Structure 1
Amino acid sequence: MAPVEKALSLGMSLLSATLAAALFKRVWKQASGQDDAPDADDLGRGWTEILVAATIQGAIFGLVKAAVQRAGAQTFRSRAVESRSKR
């Protein structure tokens, strides 16, 4: 992987994490009516609530990560094909 691709990949990863965190916060607030999702070490919350929050969070993070990586891969591929065809 070229240095430019590595830098862009890192930037896209940071962007996807930020997007996923904001999306999870919004989904959790709508689903539970609470502003903050429970942490695993929050002893004031039950197992079910913590595991449901973790499941939703994992699904959202996985979805956003896959979508951003896929879009990046397609962009890199299309640019590589364009640059080869210009030669």
Structure 2
Amino acid sequence: MTTTAPTGTTPTSTPAKILYRPVGLASSILGGLLANAIFRRVWQRAAPGEAPDPPRALDSGSSLRTILLAAGLQGAIFAVVKVVIDRGGARAFQRWSGEWPGD
């Protein structure tokens, strides 16, 4: 079975998709760790006050506005890092195998 691939690439074979799964999983884990580190560093610089850690949903000392701001910032950073990691991993796999890992 094959799927459509980005313009200029060949359709993906099932073996290529299977070979890419461990690569995709490992890159997702590393991406999550990287995104978390970036978010913490950004929050430490952007957050007013003495608390270096971002607030959690059940923190009674944080306002809802601050919690929502932290969640939105964290989500945006995670989304951007995920796209960069996923796309870079797919391109590296394509250079190595000659096949796009799939949609």
Q: Identify the TM-score tier after normalising by the shorter chain.
A: 0.7 to 0.9
Cα deviation, residue 80, structure 1 = 2.7
TM-score (norm 2): 0.73
Q: 1:11 aligns with which of 22, 26, 31?
A: 26
> Relative contact order: is structure 1 or structure 2 higher (C-alpha 8 Å, sep ≥ 6)?
2
Deviations 1:7-52 (Å, cap 9, x if unpaired)? 1111100000000000000000000153100001112110110000
Structure 2 gap ranges (5+): 1-16
Structure 1 gap ranges (5+): 83-87
Give the structure 2 partner of residue 75 of structure 1: 92
Cα deviation, residue 75, structure 1 = 1.1
Give the structure 1 partner of residue 38 of structure 2: 23
Q: 2:58 aligns with which of 26, 31, 41?
A: 41
Rounded to whole Å, the distance in 2 between the matches of 1:55 and 1:66 is 17
TM-score (norm 1): 0.85
* Equivalent AA in structure 2 for residue 31 of structure 1: A
Give the root-mean-square deviation of aligned CA atoms.
Answer: 1.5
What is the aligned residue count?
81
Rounded to whole Å, the distance in 1 between the matches of 2:20 and 2:57 is 35
